[in-house]
Structures are given as structure tokens and as C-alpha cells.
């Protein structure tokens, strides 16, 4: 079958041409190009032989997979990491060099070798990548320490690295040249391991806040002055679904945007040449202030370029299951949005290509495949769903709650039907048929 037209191939999410992928790595924007490096096994559809794959895009939506960037070496296989643009030539590879930081997973090569942190660079916008001759740049702190996330902190004029250690423990390091690093603070993110991220956002009061993020979509919001991160919230949850993991943000994104993408794990791709996919990129912002601040995730505006055909329905009374409301659109790829006033009881059922998404008003939950997602505490619930061949992403109340799920269709007559237990009124329903990026 023609590449990218396979029956279970995601059509507007990135997936590798073939074989296994997991964490997004080295996310960086440079000279009009969005770079997506990713954990990849070039030899098999199962995990192993970790190598950095590489894809590029001009719009965050349509991707082209190019040559692999990093292959295993004497230090280990190539585990997760990050990338930045060295505008000031602090590392000595030239102004504007792309710096890539990664974990060399030593014991995947030799059992006695530890995990260490390494550096590579590119002076041609990622076309060719060269490993630093002085690797590793950071030795071993704890068994399996990994996933270096590096950012530039302008106020203190230094590079900051967030690094996973062990269990729920992380640390922060600093450097002037990206080669010599000092560990200066240890952090705990309860219930979370792996894949830290660290980035600033402005809250509704205009205050600059810092977000410390972990692989499971849990995070802390606090302050950072270049020498200490101080958490000002309890551990909060942003990803409420079952398969969003290892999310990372792009460095050097234009216009100050903070754009994030996740690995969608636990998906099913029966007898496909590839295994797993990435989420849709989302833009991050903060809602609220002080201790009531929360992270908001919303699909990037570039997603609108996928819309082909639109159907809008105004106020609708949703009938019972014997005569469901059938939405007159025939597509595997959809963007569905609706608005409903909260009820005291009953349920709203949405059948999407034969799979049920249920809003249980009494329990205050949205449920998919037995996985509950708590509804926002508001009188009106706004729902946005992005439906691809093998994934379902849900955003509630402009992204205050977000959840991603693996998806395979069931049997159905119509791609989209709605029915309710009791009387249910929807204020608005909008459905966009979406185009393939391939």
C-alpha cells in the first residue's frame, strides 16, 4: 500500500514512515523551520536501538521526515533530550549553531556503563549533526538519570538544564558555555518520572510565572530567578487522558509562543509498518493568577488550515437512543465542537465512528473507554474533539482540561451521532471535515 495511505495511518498527526517511535526530542525552531526530533528504532516496530529520528515542518502541521540525526555510539543509545539555538556563540560552534542535548544510555550498550548527558551541534539548521568530542558533558548522578531539557535564562545570562534523576526526583543545572555544568537545585514532582520541561508564561495578572513539567502531564507553577525555583502551587494535572506522555515544548518559537507536542503511547496500529504517533501541537497559556493559576492547552491556530467542509447547527434538542441526532457529514477525520449547559442528572452520548464518548452530568465526568475526565466547574461545558484514524484528543472549556486517547473505530452507520438520557439541549454544534497532511 502507498506510504501514508495505510488503513490505520494517522492523517493529520505525525508518525514515522516505519517502525517504532516514542518521545519527541530536540524541539526547536530555526530560520522558518520547525524541527521535530524523536525517539526512533530504525530497525523494528518494537522499542529498542534508540536513535534520534528527524522531521521538519514549515507550519507545525505538515511534516517531512528527513535523515536520522543521532545514532548509538560507544557511550550508549540515544535517549531523549532537547535542542536550542546558540545565538551568542556561548558554546564556540558559531553564532546561530543548533545545540542538541541528549542522554547516552550507557547500559544499553554495556551493562557497566552509566547514563550520561551529551552534546551535539549543527551549523546548517539540522541538516548534518556532529557529536561533541568532549562527551559526556555531565556524568552520572543516579541510575537512569536522563532527558536533559535546556533553556536560555535571559535575566541571569546563563543556560539552565532540567534533568530527571530517579523516582520522582529532578534537578536543575546551569552553565555559561553548555559544556561545563553545575548542579544547583534538586526538585520533587510527586507521582511523576522522566522528561522534565521548564518554561515561563505570563498569568492573567501580568505576572511572569515558571512551569516545571513532568512526563505524565503533571506540573508545578512557581517563580525562578536563575538560582532557585520556588513552587507556588501544589502539583497540578494538565493531561487527563490515557495516552499523552513525554510532552515537550519548542525552543526559539517565534512571537513568544510556547508550543508543546506529546508522544501518544498505548495506541493500536494493527499490522502497520509503523508504531505510534505524536499528538497535535498545542499552544500553552496560563489561566488565573496567584495559587489559582492553571495551565491551558489548545490546538495551535495552524490546525485551521486542515478544515475542508463545515457544518454548523444552532440550538438542538438531543433525542433518546432510539432516534439519535445524526450529523450529516461523512468523514474519518473530524474536528467537532459543541456547547452544553450543565444538568443535574442524565448523560449525553456521542458516537464517534462507533466509539462512545459520554458526558455523565451526575458524576461530573466525561468518559471514554472507561477512562473518566473531570468536567470543569462551570455552568456551560464547551467540548472540542479532534478525531484522526487512531487518536482522539479532547479539550474542554478552551483547553482548561485536555485529554488524549488511543482510538480505533467500531461498527457504525454514521460517523457522528448524538443521543441523551432525558432532555438535553446543545447550544451549538460545529463539525469540520479535515484534510490529510500527506
Cell for 274? Answer: 509503523
Residues in the chain: 438
Task: State pTM to two decimals.
Answer: 0.96
Q: Does the pLDDT value for residue 423 go beyond 90? A: no
Supply the residues annotated as catalytic: 23
> What is the arrangement of strands in the sheet containing 371-374, beginning at the earlier edge strand?
325-326, 416-420, 347-352, 355-360, 365-368, 371-374
Cell for 384? Answer: 472540542
Q: Beta-strand (E) ranges in 273-346?
A: 274-275, 277-278, 282-287, 294-299, 307-313, 316-318, 325-326, 334-341
Q: Does the pLDDT value for residue 110 go beyond 70? A: no
- C-alpha 154/C-alpha 247 separation (Å) is 24
Mean pLDDT over 347-376 rounds to 96
**Contact by Cβ (8 Å): 196, 218:** no
Percent of the chain at pLDDT > 70 equals 99
**Contact by Cβ (8 Å): 427, 421:** no
Q: Looking up cell 462551570, which residue turns up?
A: 378
Confidence tier at 108 by pLDDT (50, 70, 90): low
Identify any residues that bridge with 66 across adjacent strands, giving them in sequence order: 54
Mean pLDDT over 318-343 rounds to 92
Predicted pLDDT of residue 109: 60
Predicted pLDDT of residue 402: 97
Predicted pLDDT of residue 111: 66
Which domains are delineated in the chain? 19-299 (2.115.10.20), 305-434 (2.60.120.560)
Predicted pLDDT of residue 38: 98
- C-alpha 276/C-alpha 265 separation (Å) is 6
Angle made by CA atoms 16, 332, 397, in degrees to the nearest 5 = 90
Mean pLDDT over 146-171 rounds to 97
pLDDT tens digits, 281-298: 999 999 999 999 999 999
Q: How far is CA 7 from CA 2, 22, 126, 388, in A?
A: 10, 21, 32, 11
Q: Does the pLDDT value for residue 112 go beyond 80? A: no
Identify any residues that bridge with 55 across adjacent strands, giving them in sequence order: 36, 65
Amino acid at each position: 500500500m502507498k506510504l501514508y495511505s495505510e488503513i490505520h495511518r494517522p492523517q493529520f498527526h505525525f508518525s514515522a514512515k516505519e517502525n517504532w517511535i516514542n518521545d519527541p526530542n530536540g524541539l526547536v525552531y530555526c530560520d522558518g523551520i520547525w524541527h521535530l526530533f524523536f525517539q526512533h528504532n530504525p530497525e523494528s516496530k518494537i522499542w529498542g536501538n534508540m536513535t534520534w529520528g528527524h522531521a521538519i515542518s514549515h507550519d507545525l502541521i505538515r511534516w517531512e521526515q528527513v535523515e536520522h540525526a543521532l545514532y548509538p555510539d560507544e557511550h550508549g543509545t540515544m535517549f531523549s533530550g532537547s535542542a536550542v539555538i546558540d545565538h551568542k556563540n556561548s558554546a564556540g560552534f558559531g553564532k546561530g549553531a543548533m545545540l542538541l542535548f541528549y542522554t547516552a544510555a550507557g547500559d544499553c550498550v554495556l551493562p557497566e556503563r552509566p547514563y550520561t548527558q551529551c552534546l551535539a551541534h549543527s551549523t546548517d539548521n539540522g541538516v548534518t549533526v556532529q557529536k561533541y568530542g568532549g562527551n559526556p558533558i555531565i556524568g552520572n548522578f543516579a541510575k537512569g538519570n536522563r532527558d536533559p531539557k535546556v533553556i536560555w535564562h535571559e535575566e541571569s545570562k546563563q543556560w539552565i538544564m532540567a534533568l530527571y534523576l530517579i523516582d520522582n526526583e529532578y534537578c536543575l543545572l546551569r552553565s555559561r558555555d553548555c559544556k561545563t555544568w553545575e548542579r544547583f537545585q534538586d526538585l520533587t514532582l510527586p507521582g511523576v518520572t522522566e522528561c522534565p520541561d521548564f518554561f515561563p508564561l505570563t498569568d492573567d495578572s501580568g505576572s511572569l510565572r515558571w512551569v516545571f513539567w513532568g512526563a505524565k502531564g503533571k506540573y508545578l507553577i512557581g517563580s525562578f530567578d536563575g538560582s532557585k525555583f520556588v513552587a507556588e502551587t501544589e502539583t497540578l494535572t494538565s493531561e487527563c487522558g490515557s495516552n499523552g506522555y513525554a510532552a515537550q515544548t519548542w525552543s526559539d518559537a517565534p512571537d513568544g509562543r510556547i508550543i508543546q507536542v506529546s508522544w501518544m503511547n498505548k495506541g493500536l496500529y494493527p499490522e502497520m509498518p509503523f508504531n505510534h504517533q505524536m499528538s497535535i501541537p498545542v499552544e500553552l497559556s496560563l489561566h488565573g493568577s496567584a495559587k489559582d493559576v492553571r495551565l491551558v492547552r489548545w490546538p495551535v491556530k495552524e490546525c485551521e488550515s486542515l478544515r475542508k467542509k463545515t457544518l454548523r447547527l444552532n440550538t438542538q434538542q438531543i433525542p433518546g437512543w432510539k432516534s439519535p441526532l445524526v450529523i450529516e457529514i461523512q468523514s474519518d477525520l473530524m474536528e467537532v465542537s459543541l456547547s452544553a449547559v450543565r444538568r443535574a442528572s442524565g448523560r449525553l452520548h456521542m458516537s464517534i465512528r462507533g466509539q462512545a464518548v459520554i458526558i455523565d452530568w451526575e458524576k461530573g465526568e466525561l468518559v471514554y473507554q472507561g477512562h473518566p475526565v473531570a468536567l470543569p466547574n462551570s455552568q456551560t461545558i464547551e467540548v472540542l474533539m479532534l478525531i484522526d484514524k487512531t487518536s482522539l484528543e479532547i479539550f474542554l472549556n478552551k483547553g482548561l482540561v485536555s485529554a488524549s486517547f488511543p482510538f480505533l473505530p467500531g461498527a457504525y452507520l454514521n460517523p457522528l451521532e448524538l443521543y441523551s438520557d432525558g432532555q438535553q439541549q446543545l447550544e451549538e454544534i460545529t463539525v469540520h471535515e479535515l484534510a490529510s497532511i500527506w
